[in-house]
A and B are shown apart, each in its own frame.
Chain A
Amino acid sequence: MDYFTQQLINGLVLGSIYGLIAIGYTMVYGIVGMINFAHGDIFMIGGFIALITFLILVSFGLTAVPVILLVVLLASMAITALYGWTVERIAYRPLRHSFRLAPMLSAIGMSFVLTNYSQVAQGARVKPIPPLITGGYTLHESADGFVIQLSNIQILVVTTTIVLLLIFNRLVLRTRLGRDMRACEQDQTMAALLGVNVDRTISMTFVIGAALAAVAGLMYLLYYGQVDFNMGFVAGIKAFTAAVLGGIGSLPGAVLGGLAIGLIETFWSAYFSVEYKDVAAFSILIIVLIFMPTGLLGRPEVEKV
């Protein structure tokens, strides 16, 4: 039971990171109707920006952890958002009205570009950092000495995800930008006729998605203590799985799906085999799409003839 509880905590933390990435997928898919294949790499870039900012701050002798965290968070969100904006501008906007395969292939190309750009710029080796947030709580200690731990970093990851979800869900439901986004999701031409700036709205969607992926990158860096140029692809597919599982287009669904994927992956590793955890995650994707194509919180898709 203790082991189970500990795995539950670990799974929720991993799931929160997937959920943050999944929000970017779900927003872009909802509005443009396209899988943004480069999104996993945007997450990776976010991790790198956070790492580099952290290094600079530490080398300047800054020691106050909250200040470091805040600066790193803002810097990685800002710069990664700019990456998201640029990627949309270069690879997707010229193909907005093209046939469907073209933007998908240019997105795959963009994903290769970002992965290899980061390898060329920062090298292929794993980049570790010393733990920034230490300490935690011992929730329970059983007779045979098994300890359930809840570390501060785990608390931080889960709270950040929940707070950001609440903020962004409110943004989509209550602000002018959110209204424009939902209008574009319904019908882009109609939205444009009614005075919505479609180009700007789609750009903003990419910007917000990238900023949240940057937060996920920072959380990954803090939690695992390392980043590498190759971590985007698999994390990206799993986050997409999460978005689909939660019902594509729904922000709470994305986080819910992320938690589900994180839990399944963690429990599978804990009770079955670590080697096949990715196989399990991908199999879930296939099963969900077959039996529940609209996901947990999704709306049924209307077939347009």
Chain B
Amino acid sequence: MTALSQETVSATRTAAGIPFILKKAFLSALVALLLFSLMIGIRTEAGPDGQLTYWTRFGELASIVGIVFGGSILIELLRQWIGPVGAEKLVPPAVHRGMSILGNYLAPALLIFTLLVPVIFYNQRYILDLAILVLTYVMLGWGLNVVVGLAGLLDLGYVAFYAVGAYSYALLATNFGWSFWICLPLAGILAAMWGVMLGFPVLRLRGDYLAIVTLAFGEIIRLVIINWQSLTGGPNGVTGIPRPTLFGIPLDNSDDGLAAKLGIEYSPTHRIVFLFYLILALALLTNWVTIRLRRLPIGRAWEALREDEVACRALGINTTTTKLTAFATGALFGGFAGAFFATRQGFISPESFTFQESALVLAIVVLGGMGSQLGVALAALAMIGGFELFRGLEIYRMLVFGWAMVLIMIWRPRGLIGHRAPTVYLKKAQAISSDLVKEGHG
């Protein structure tokens, strides 16, 4: 923080008293009144003959302005009672130490719990489906973490690789009838190739420019999928994607199905449980590969690239291959996740691969704390689980999601897990504060 912003902080702290609070709340309410006067106060709708009509909703307008007025007073009071909100002040040091001890056991405990989820919730289809969804995003988050968290390359088009993987699997499986276990690596490799193809042209770009180019790339892939009707089925998508098999044994109630072979009664839950362990295995593979790669020269090169590209080049690190491998590795896992998504849904369409998905995965990575594996998993759980709470309120869902993104960034710009273990250390591992990690201009 610079001196400039500290000055403004102290200026707001000294001003106090009821007239000040009322004045501030009154101003907020006035701004809200002006902002919402037309958008909320007046509702337009096209009538049957195409003519626009409107009616007024002054009641709603008044209640929103009232909420802003009351909320403003409340926030100002809280701010004066608690003072400037800092993590150190809210959480006592003893609790903090306890948390960090707990943190050492959190990852194994979480893993054991995840392994047991199908046993505990065997008959609760909804929870199993949700768990599969969460794990898919955990995997996507870990995949993108390689690109954004480790290599510091800001990728806003990650969903493109997810789409490439999903469509590769869907098209190969429906057109050639190849099994899931052949298509899965192919989908990953194809996605990785697209990763390299995207990587080449953007090697020279940095920061925000890189972000906007990857965003454009994601949109191009989506638009091509929509418009190349003869191959991809256009907006109708691909249907009848085969379900995965247990190395050739289908999981259905036919005579050569798994249930019949094992001599147990068939249940549709078997397939769900199988899918659950499949995505868990894929996600753990992603995690394992990432952790291993971090210790290898290539992983160190990624992190060096994130910290300082110029120094990296001066040390003789080949930034071209470093960036390309980061893109390819991230894309590979995106492709795997896409193939899994296609086989789970049995149907894919371009609607599943919008910019919103990319933003969601990026939000998971940043909220988790860039580069932290555990953080990404927790963030995926929080985001997807939280998102699920609003399923009933379909139109308010994205509104709440957007606000969550804004508020979380203001509250914890460095993510949930602000500390991470170092890759290399002398004698004793010391946690590194994420404030020390540079954002990566590469």
Contact = CB atoms under 8 A, between A and B. Distances in A.
Q: What's the dominant secondary structure at chain A's contact region? A: helix
Contact of B39 (A52, A106, A305): A52
Contacts of B303: none
Given A49-B38, A98-B413, A290 B396 contact: no
A283 B402 CA distance: 28
A102 B413 contact: yes
B35 A120 contact: no
B220 A283 contact: yes
A278 interface: yes
Contacts of B363: 105, 108-109
Given A94-B410, A110-B406, A240 B223 contact: no
Interface in A163-181: none
Interface in A218-252: 233, 237, 240-241, 244
A116 B413 contact: no
A128 interface: yes
A242 to B, nearest CB: 12
Given A278-B219, A278-B223, A293-B209, A112 B201 contact: no
A155 interface: no
B354 to A, nearest CB: 10
A159 interface: no
Interface stretch (B1-9, B326-334, B425-433): B1-9
Interface in A70-112: 75, 79, 82-83, 86, 90-91, 94-106, 108-112
A297 interface: no
Contact of A275 (B34, B50, B227, B310): B227
A44 B211 CA distance: 23
Interface stretch (A15-23, A53-61, A135-143, A258-266): A53-61
Contact of B154 (A101, A120, A282): A101
Nearest to B311: A305
B8 A199 contact: yes
Nearest to B355: A233
B403 to A, nearest CB: 6
A162 interface: no
A95 B224 CA distance: 36
Contacts of A96: 5
A286 B216 contact: yes
Q: What's the dominant secondary structure at chain B's contact region? A: helix
Nearest to B310: A305
B217 interface: yes
Nearest to A199: B8
In this complex, the member of A83, A120, A192 whose beta carbon has the largest number of chain B beta carbons within 10 angstroms is A120
Contacts of B441: 100
A99 to B, nearest CB: 5
B44 A113 contact: no
Given A97-B2, A113-B402, A49 B39 contact: yes
B211 A35 contact: yes
Contact of B202 (A111, A198, A290): A290
Contacts of B44: 51-52, 55, 122-123, 127
B68 to A, nearest CB: 11
A111 B439 CA distance: 23
Contacts of B213: 285-286, 289
27 contacts: A33-B208, A35-B211, A48-B38, A49-B39, A51-B44, A52-B39, A55-B44, A75-B38, A82-B35, A95-B409, A97-B1, A98-B409, A99-B414, A100-B441, A106-B410, A109-B363, A112-B359, A116-B402, A117-B399, A121-B39, A126-B46, A279-B223, A282-B223, A289-B202, A290-B202, A293-B209, A305-B310
Interface of B: 1-2, 4-5, 8, 31, 34-35, 37-40, 42-46, 50-52, 54, 148, 154, 201-202, 204-205, 207-209, 211-213, 215-217, 219-220, 223-224, 226-227, 310, 355-356, 359, 362-363, 366, 370, 395-396, 398-399, 401-406, 409-410, 413-414, 439, 441
- The list of the 8 closest CB pairs from A to B, nearest first, reads A109-B405, A112-B402, A102-B413, A113-B402, A282-B216, A106-B409, A116-B399, A109-B406
Interface of A: 29, 33-35, 45, 48-49, 51-53, 55-56, 59, 75, 79, 82-83, 86, 90-91, 94-106, 108-123, 125-130, 188-189, 192, 198-199, 233, 237, 240-241, 244, 275-276, 278-279, 282-283, 285-286, 289-290, 293, 303, 305
